[in-house]
Chains A and B, each alone.
Chain A
């Protein structure tokens, strides 16, 4: 089946690291994605990882993939107020058709 799950809310202090978790069910997914959505806007691609990798780092972002447990995480180092948004995990299907989770709303406390 197609099911991507994320916790709905995460609150962190400014300057701390944020870790957003995601689980998926389809082991045949080839790519897994993280998108960011600010209020009233579309989805901004943050990063993606191929399913045969277990880690990818891009500046403040680190993606970890545990394919055995079908678990994906996004770590944002030194979280800033501009990181406040909803973060979506997505798995890709044939022809890049994406299945999204419900999104995790990240709130930054001063």
Chain B
């Protein structure tokens, strides 16, 4: 079990640039989630996939954010025209489907927008 892997671990970008993060879930997990965590807060749900289908998006996910999971395995989260308020830790999690399957989180990508 290699766990959930996220790349890069850290990203520093200038305001207005686009950034893309990658998440590789645990291989047999068909659900994949993105969360955002700002300093001093708990993680907040952004979106989730069941296989390749994006089934729910939070209202926190503005039009500048897009997530994909093209083959139902890894996922990417892109932020266009970054703003300073996008600075946060972006966490990916995966699970089996079924209410009794807990989420397993990766170590996150820390984004700093200058």
Contact = CB atoms under 8 A, between A and B. Distances in A.
Interface in A17-43: 30-31, 33, 35, 40-43
B26 to A, nearest CB: 12
B106 interface: yes
Contacts of B48: 95, 97
B42 A88 contact: yes
Contact of A31 (B41, B100, B106): B100
A101 B99 contact: no
A98 B91 CA distance: 13
Nearest to A100: B42
Contacts of A4: 42
Given A35-B105, A41-B107, A102 B40 contact: yes
**Could you say which interface size class chain B belongs to?**
20 to 34
Q: Binding site of A, secondary structure by majority: helix, strand, loop or mixed?
A: strand
Q: Which residue, of A90, A95, A103, has the highest number of chain B Cβ atoms within 10 A? A: A95
16 contacts: A4-B42, A31-B100, A35-B105, A42-B91, A92-B99, A96-B31, A96-B99, A97-B45, A97-B56, A98-B43, A99-B45, A100-B42, A102-B41, A102-B42, A103-B41, A103-B42
Interface of B: 4, 6, 31, 33, 40-45, 48, 50, 55-56, 91, 93, 95, 99-108, 110
Interface of A: 4, 30-31, 33, 35, 40-45, 48, 50, 88, 90, 92, 95-103
